[in-house]
Structure 1
Amino acid sequence: MMDFSTELAAAPSNDDLDTILKGLSAYNESEVGPADRLPLCVLIRDADGKVVGGLSGYTSWGWLFTQLLFIPQALRGQGLAASLLDQAETEARARGCKGAWIDTFNPQALKAYRRQGYEIFGELPAFVGERTRTFLKKTL
């Protein structure tokens, strides 16, 4: 058995995090095959070309995971969430993905995702304050 100790680290180094990621990735790959993880981003740019919002996520194991989706206040209500999701889903299909998932604790975002065909598969009630964190999926 190997000697070891544990340490709580509020600010781990990039190397520390990379070691954990590489170890977990190698283990998962040995169990279920390669993740083929690829970043996926759909950007919103202003007239000067500056990024002001967008969607960020990745595809892996045949799934699209949207990590972040932000639309500036001035651009909300114009169907941009639907457009960003459509573009990301189209690219995910081109990469061979069979499904997509996303989570939120924002009631407006939840409505937008459900309008796009996402279905709830899990919830954490009172995740932050009285807001529920909702997990959604969609078949692509």
Structure 2
Amino acid sequence: MNTFSLTLTDNPEPERLKALGDNLMDFNDADVGSAQRRLLAIFIDDEAGALKGGLYGQTGWGWLYVQWLWLDQDARGQGMAGQLLAKAEVEARARGCHSAHIDTFNPLALKVYLRAGYEVFGVLEDFPQGRTRSFLKKRLMTD
């Protein structure tokens, strides 16, 4: 029998995290096939070149995952979030993705995503305390 040790840290070494991720991806690729992951980022800049918003995520296994969508206060209320989602979805379709998913605990963001055609498929209550984290999905291609 092998002997193992467990190490808990709040400051992991970047190369150990990379090794952990690489090993998990190798396992998953062998188990269900290559995800063919590709990063996707869209940035919004003002006329001075300052970052005012953007979207970051990835595509893989036929899905677009939007990890971050942020807008500076002065870029809100102008339909920019919907434009970011639409642009990401067009690229995801071009990459062969059939669906997209995103999550949020912000009630205003939830309304934006619902307006953009996303539907809630799961929730976590009190994540964070007093809020509900909603998980949403959207079909990008019809069968």
The question of 1:113 aligning with 2:127 is answered no
Question: Aligned partners of 1:56 and 1:2: how far apart in 2?
Answer: 41
Task: Provide, for residues 74-117 of structure 1, a one-character-per-residue CA deviation record: whole Å limited to 9, x for no partner.
Answer: 11110001000000000000000000000000000000000000
Deviates more, 1:41-50 or 1:111-120: 41-50
Aligned residue in 1 for 2:76: 76
Identity score, percent: 51
1:51 deviates by 2.2
2:35 touches 2:60 (CA, 8 Å); kept in 1?
A: yes
Structure 2: gaps spanning 5 or more residues? none
- Report the RMSD for the aligned CA atoms in angstroms: 0.9
Runs (5+) with no aligned partner, structure 1: none
Q: What displacement does 1:49 show?
A: 2.1
Matches within 5 A, 1:1-140: 1-140=1-140
Scaled by the length of structure 2, the TM-score of the pair is: 0.95
Superposition TM-score, scaled by structure 1 size: 0.97
Residue 100 of structure 1: SS of its match in structure 2?
A: strand
Following the alignment from structure 2 to structure 1, what is the Cα–Cα distance between the partners of residues 5 and 129? 36
Determine helix, strand or coil for the equivalent of 1:134: strand
